[in-house]
A and B are shown apart, each in its own frame.
Chain A
Amino acid sequence: MLTIEDLHVEVAGSPILKGVNLEIKEGETHVLLGPNGGGKTTLLMSIMGLPRYKVTRGKIYFKGEDITNLPPNERAKLGIGIMFQKPPSIRGVKLYQIGEVSLRGKEDGDRIKSYAELLNLINHIDRDLNYGFSGGELKRSELFQLLCQKPDLVLLDEPESGVDLDNISLIGTVINELLNKEDKVKSRKSSGIIVTHTGYILEYVNADKGHVLMDGKIICDGSPRDLFEEVKKHGYGRCTECL
């Protein structure tokens, strides 16, 4: 579904990603671990195609198509969706409006309402998008938009950070829905990349593969739990040995 080859990305003139290779198959969920500033957000933003993240070398293929130079809206149409770590707020644009945008023509008010209900956002859909939302509300707002959009590749940037324990299982449930975790393993269509710092989300969502991203490179692949145990015990200290 997604193939990344030797990806180099610059942000504001400084090189951040320095040769990332990654392959995600249909139905797979990958977890991306790594220290702060390692480039996890940069990688997701580059897959989504945000213009601030400049690809200086390498290629991104999605469903066999070279998308390296496509704008974000074209990528969204092809089936990529992202949950921002720090989404901006937009005054005057309402949350339900972006729900409609994300539904793209398939809009029906019922679906917007039922997703909002599921995410405890029924009182938020008439409010300005993300404006004055709490940390947890921001995460739920992002997931609401993704539910409307139903992407085939879901990029989740720290879905659990700033979320209290009551809400984390809700967030896990919605992520599982986005990733068709209810379906039989073989018939799953959606793929995902979950960036996590704390790893808590792994108690709610099963991931197939894990990677450690550090200093702009993927330095280690393995089972998500093994990687996370390692990080819990030793931090990223021992990872530097693999650089």
Chain B
Amino acid sequence: MSRPQGIRTDKLSLWYTKFQALVDVSLEIDHGRVTGLIGPSGCGKTTLLRSFNRINERIEGVRIEGHVHILGDDIYAPEVDLVELRKRVGMVFQRPNPLPLSVRENVLFGLRVHVPRGELRRDELNHAVESSLKEVGLWDALKDKLGQRATSLSLEQQQKLCIARLLPLRPEILLMDEPCSALDPSATQRVEELIRELRDRYTIVIVTHNMAQARRISDECVFMLLGQVIEHRRTEDLFLSPKDERTANYVEGRFG
């Protein structure tokens, strides 16, 4: 069965000044699935994820070779508009990073940045807030607290809000970098549920160092080591019958 392509990288290499953090990464990530990125700390998971929306470029001394195609378009082509790219490829970070604004303004921030003032009608804004918060399951808890500062919410709510914040821009791809690592187990469980609910509508790439989590939520899994992709298969297959010895060692917890 062939699915439309979400992300394809072609011999992608990335250097931080002299240090090579990604080595010839060639990957195909299907659209409309959850793909887990696993591997020991420092193997380049975050770096790879951040090269999918070109956030890495803001770091001094970063050099990139190779190609990344998202939904068929080469995002490192010269004519690519970063603003458009980042609208379609949203990112959730390891630590929740709501802006120091109200809940409502956090959700609307993307729209405010992209649509000229005056073209935003109040009922449209209200609708965007309501539907985004509903989609992440925060509406009932927060509908009476839309004016509250987002930074005063619980970490779980903050992280969900950070996901909600991406939705008004109608992204197609959601990148998540260890989105649960700052959360307690029950909050983690609820965020995982949310990710499962979102999986049909978006291509989700999630970095995790938690193997059990990767098994629970991902359809496919990519195992990385020292900047290279070692194995990329259906999650069950990768965990039950890894082809590469290093994958086997890692998923069985012999190093990591």
Tell whether A and B belong to one assembly. no
